[in-house]
Structures are given as structure tokens and as C-alpha cells.
Structure 1
Amino acid sequence: MTITVLPIIEPDIKPGDPLVKEMNDQLVLMARALQDQHLKELELMEPLFEDIVIYISYYNKQGVRWKIVNDVPESAIAEVAEQCDKLGYVRWKTATLNAFNRD
């Protein structure tokens, strides 16, 4: 299974603020760590040819939320949920896949 974790930068955050730049850089690092370290075992999950795409973003400017944006087996969803729970990330609660505004 191919794992892709994409950091989603909120459009309503002011890009000129140095804190925002630091937060965005940190989000990129968290996405990379989730993909390359915490979810590494998913690469061996059957079927090997499938992809899993996960979005992560900030909510309330402090916490991190996550969402799987494609159809994957329930076992993959459970593994992502377990790893994200360990990291303190919360499930992204929106009805649509392309809704990037706050819950």
C-alpha cells in the first residue's frame, strides 16, 4: 500500500506572520513523520497496489486533525486512527472531502 500524507494549509491564515511560517513548516514535518515512520507498517498491508491518502491540518491553531480522503479497507482506517490517536491528532469531521474550513 502506498501512503501519502499531505499537509493542508488553511487559506484564511495570514502568510506573512513568522509564527504561521513556523507552524506550516512544522505541519510539513509532521506529515512526513506520519507517512515515513508512524504508518510505515501500512506499506505491507494487502492489497499492496492500493494507495492511502491522508490530509492533516491544524484546527483551532493548536491541534492537528487528520482525514483519509480515498476508499481504503477498514483495517487501514483502524491503523491510521490508532497511530494518529497515539500522536494526539483528532479525526477531521467534515461531510465532504474538499472542505478545508474549520469544523
Structure 2
Amino acid sequence: MAKRNMNYNNVVFEGYFPSMMEKLGADGFMNELCKGFRMPMDFEKRVITLESLKKNSAVLGLQGVSDDELLCMLKEGDLDGDGCLNQMEFCVLMFRLSPDLMNRATMSFEFHHH
């Protein structure tokens, strides 16, 4: 799903989201994003926390990533400043990390609103 970029200590998403969107359709793609959110989610708090991210790091392909790097990932998507990611913040982050998907969404929006 993701690969580590050792030079910048961040996770870089491959450009496969657009092909998933085409294959699954918008509803199917959003359903997959929701499944992706639930994997590292703290089920009691219903959000992704640093602890839940650390607990699930191996399943996510993030084993060996430091706590500071995981915290930076959380901060990248934490729009309300509460230190964790809710489902909406997670989905927004996934779109932001996939420039091809953002470009297609923008083009589709412009096409349908002109």
C-alpha cells in the first residue's frame, strides 16, 4: 500500500488510488477507505491514535517506523488538533497523499459544475 521514503522519513503513496476509483466506483472506493480507517482505529475511541497506530504498525507495513514518525503522520492529517484522526480526517489525508486522485476529483468537479 505504501512505501517508506528514507530521505524524508515519510510515507509516499503509490498512484494506485485512481485505478481503484475507476475499478470500484466512488461508493466502492469510499467503502475501501473506510475499511482502511478501521484497521488502525482504536475501537473504543473510534479514532486513530498514536497507540493504535503503533499497535497495528506491522499490519500496515510500518514496522520499524519510530514513534516520532508515526506522530508526524498523525499530525499531517489532524485537522482539528485533537492529536488523533477521525474517519473524515483520514479520508481527507488519503486524498491529499494521492495527487493523481486529487487531480481527477478536481477535473470531475469542474466538468460537472460548468
Relative to its length, the structure with more helix (as a share) is 2
TM-score band w.r.t. shorter chain: under 0.3
Q: Which of 1 and 2 has higher RCO (CA within 8 Å, sep 6+)?
A: 1
Give the TM-score taking structure 1 as reference length: 0.27
Larger-Rg structure: 2
